[in-house]
Chains A and B, each alone.
Chain A
Amino acid sequence: MRFVQNFPFFSIILSMFSGIISSVLPARAARWLNTALIVTVGAMSAALLWFLTGTQEAYVYWMGHFPAPWGNEIRAGVLEAGMALFFCVIMLLSMLGGEKKLLGEVEYSKHNLYYILVDLLLSSLLALVYTNDLFTAYVFVEINTIAACGLIMIRQNGRTIEAAVRYMIMSLLGSGLFLLGLCTLYDLTGHLLMSNIKEAVAQLAEQQAYTVPLMTTIGLISVGLAIKSALFPFHTWLPDAYGYSTVSSAAMLSSLVSKGYIFLLIKIFYRVIGFDIITESKVINVLFVFGLMGMVFGSLSAIRENDIRRMISYSSVAQIGYIYMGFGLGTEIGMVASVFHILSHAATKSLLFISAIGLTDVSRGSRKFQDLTGAGYRNKLAGVAFTVGSLSMVGVPMFSGFVSKLLFMEASLGHAVKMFPALIVLALSTILNAIYFMKTVIRIYVPDRRPDCGIITGKDEKLYAATLVCFIVLNVALGMLSEPIVQWIRTGLSMFG
């Protein structure tokens, strides 16, 4: 075994260990440790990605002295390593971008607790990405849920506490359904390890045995994880949770936490149930319909909002709808489009949250649209960044959102039944996106001299400005270099099989 192959294990255990150490560190030291941790894990994931691109072969890693069905095991392929790297980049940028806001919104004596939550959140995301065992996945889903709850309510006002309670209830319902599905699956197959379950399920499908419980299980797991990642009818917890929490929490919740669950669902589709059985089942049709509804209704709610943060939050509902629509198509290319959209949405949504904060800061802290008039002139970089994010969300060429929309179109073409609904709703949703994002962009560039509002330039907040520039570069890079990225996703998904 090569040394580089230890890296997935190192990254998980390092992030858990940093969380434990942070509990006795003062806030400043905890912050440095957190930044160092994210950078280290990112570097290790990059090295692993390099190594795996060379070998083109996924490998499993024993967690202990016992082989697979008895002990725990993790597994790393190209897609896993790349996802880990991507999550680290987004997390680092979100933390740096929201650092000043954190100081202004959270009691200083609780800052080191915040960094514990972030460290453990990273560990759970990494474990969800790398795990090869369903029960390990469940344990880290728990950590993820509790960490997300803490991230929401660390800014203590009535709204966030209410949002956290709502999030907790919905999210625990999701975990419960997922656990029920997992139990049934164990009862049917006698395994918790993903590859063994897949063999057993394939056998069951061949013998036509236990078809009813198998279908219920697929439903329970899909719906459980859909609730946790805020698919349309289960999205009611989302706008408050993203809209009122402190900005780095909002960025991480929208671009990492929900994406972690979606990635787990993809993993379950490919490595636990088997893609053929999933496509044959009716469950993906349900996901398809919910996805389409989310694309329309999420955007409609966003148009109605008069609060920029809540508008961006509702736009997440629409984007999650896109991802589930890709699942619902039930084709390989649909999956590729969904995975690409995970990346593109994560990069764009965190950019939007972070830049919106810059705009509200120069409007006396107000998030209402009428106060944001001309904010793009008062904080130029944030204005440019918000425009880039909006253009990307609408799907203008050169930015990441365009590529994912193109991939979704390609995926839906040639599908017998689902082609027309998918294309029509895609077009409709693009128009709706344009309505509310362009409305905001026009609003922030309407000339308006307001002597009562301060002006913030890049010189004043160097770190924030650097973060925004990095986000913009990431977004454009995803849009311009889509060819190798799509190729990487394809190889990664084929390594799953």
Chain B
Amino acid sequence: MKRKDNAFYRWLFGEKDTLQGRVEMRPQAEYETKETDLEEILKDHQQVQEKVFDLKDNKALRFFDRMYRIAGVLFCLALMLILLVNVSWLPPRGAASNPVNNEVSARYIENGLQETGAVNIVTGMILDYRAFDTFGESNVLFIATVTVLILMRLDREKKAPAKKGVPVYQKPEDEMTVAQAQAHDRIYEPKNDVILQVAAGFLVPVIIIFGIYVILNGHLSPGGGFSGGAIIGAGLILYLNAFGFEKTERFFTEKTYKWVSFGALTFYCLAKSYSFYTGANHLESGIGLGTPGAILSSGLILPLNICVGLVVACTMYAFYALFRKGGF
């Protein structure tokens, strides 16, 4: 072990400055700016700004502005032209000899039912053949909510753990005037609207039940997690609009959102990891496919559809609530 008191260590830890006494150190000459000078500088700056950005008199700027727009339009037109020419060279739509009609889609259509147990081939494709992509997609939704949370969530002060010598971020205070607060619909809910409430009373249960139907029958008929989740989310938003946050807070808070999407994504992740692992290592997964056409069939597809549906519904509602109020 080296002794800690040699010159290098002392230099490194700031106890001794090797340059001191050897190099002439002279501080930079301080130049003071007087208050009047500062004002003059500011005034000058202001004048220059006004002159430069004065659209009426500055011909060069006006010319640039106009050319910029024209160039933008021309560029878009050129891109459109290129893409249209490109489309005209593509294989004709719907022809049987197209390259897309190959062994890939043939197997999906011919063996899809036997291999995945799902009557709806599309669901079989996205949740069984290409489940990894779909897991990625649900993570796209998840991360989109996280970013909106960063942007929109209003936090009550939560103190960071105090560490010595570490500056901690302080949120700038902003206070609202009464007039601002009244115009602000984060604080004042819109007035109760009877027509909307009666209509919502009829519609919301129907919408939500339909959404659940679409999710549960995702492997049997058109639909599935994404579409069913969107329907349920729309129902929740309608309910929120009619009855306000006070009612929805009784069953849907940020905690609900957090745990529901956590549970759904965790189940998705674990279930699919198991299936990927067994698939890649050529092991039997031991998950039966059931009778095609029954509700409880096609292996993991039904639970995965429910998970995707929950994530989508929560995300839709969370987006709306965050944009409206900055919270749930």
Contacts and interface: CB of A to CB of B under 8 A. Distances in A.
Contacts of B279: 62-66, 71
Contacts of B99: 187-190, 200
Q: Is the interface of B mostly helix, strand, loop or mixed?
A: helix
B163 A103 contact: yes
B40 to A, nearest CB: 20
A143 B143 CA distance: 7
A146 B140 contact: yes
B146 A150 contact: yes
B273 interface: yes
Task: Among A6, A72, A116, A449, find the residue whose CB has the most chain B CB atoms closer than 10 A.
Answer: A72
A210 B89 contact: yes
Interface string A127-142: 1000001011001101
Interface string B146-189: 11011101011011110101111101000000000000000000
A219 B144 CA distance: 29
Given A103-B168, A190-B99, A216 B146 contact: no
A156 B174 CA distance: 14
Contacts of B166: 100, 103-104
Interface string B265-279: 110010001011111
A70 B104 contact: yes
B205 interface: no
B157 to A, nearest CB: 8
Interface string B57-84: 0000000000000000000000000110
A133 B134 CA distance: 13
A150 B143 contact: yes
A109 B101 contact: no
Contacts of A69: 103-104
Contact of A120 (B27, B98, B143): B143
Interface in B94-110: 98-105, 107-108
B91 interface: yes
A417 interface: no
A213 B128 contact: no
A457 B89 contact: no
Contacts of B85: 212
Contacts, number: 212
Q: How large is the interface on B (under 10, 10 to 19, 20 to 34, 35 or more residues)?
A: 35 or more
Contacts of A17: 266, 269, 273
Interface stretch (A18-26, A347-355, A479-487): A18-26
Given A24-B258, A108-B159, A190-B100, A16 B11 contact: no
A139 B133 contact: yes
Given A24-B258, A120-B143, A447-B19, A136 B83 contact: no
Given A64-B131, A146-B147, A189-B99, A16 B269 contact: yes
Given A1-B281, A13-B269, A380-B12, 15 more contacts: A9-B276, A13-B273, A64-B280, A72-B132, A100-B166, A105-B169, A107-B158, A108-B168, A139-B136, A149-B147, A156-B150, A187-B100, A190-B101, A213-B86, A213-B90
Interface of B: 11-14, 17, 19, 23, 25-28, 82-83, 85-86, 89-91, 98-105, 107-108, 115, 128-133, 135-137, 139-140, 142-144, 146-147, 149-151, 153, 155-156, 158-161, 163, 165-169, 171, 258-259, 261-262, 265-266, 269, 273, 275-282, 285
11 contacts: A1-B280, A17-B266, A113-B146, A117-B143, A120-B142, A139-B137, A147-B143, A150-B146, A187-B91, A210-B90, A449-B27
